Amino acid sequence: MIVIHWLTALLILGAWLTSTGGRHMAENPPLQHFSFGLAVLVLALSHLILRFAGGTAPMVVLPSPPGSATRCSICS
């Protein structure tokens, strides 16, 4: 899942860098910018499908370092 996350981030950056903006963009979008956007859409949809099909990863609880407070002093 982390690979899909960072690949999507890189593709969004690529789409942003290849955009020209303005009315010209709406009338005749550059092929490279369109390709980046389409790839982002495919990755986002695949991420959602994988998320709903596989659920979430189990939460990993790390042990506290020695000498650290393990309980809330106000809660006691």
Residue 59 lies in a domain: no
For position 68, what pLDDT does the model report? 64
Over 60: is that where the pLDDT of 49 sits?
yes
| Per-residue pLDDT tens over the stretch 3-38 | 888 999 999 998 888 877 666 666 666 788 889 999
Q: Using an 8 Å Cβ cutoff, are 18 and 33 in contact?
A: yes
Residue 42 lies in a domain: yes
Residue 6 lies in a domain: yes
Residue 69 lies in a domain: no
Quick one: CA dihedral 14, 18, 23, 24, positive or negative? Answer: negative
Q: Using an 8 Å Cβ cutoff, are 70 and 48 in contact?
A: no
Q: How far apart are CA 25 and CA 28, in angstroms?
A: 5
Q: How far apart are CA 10 and CA 74, in angstroms?
A: 44
Over 80: is that where the pLDDT of 64 sits?
no
Domain of 36 in residue numbering reads as 2-17+27-54
Kindly give, in sequence order, each residue whose CB lies less than 8 Å from that of residue 64, ignoring residues fewer than 6 positions away: 70
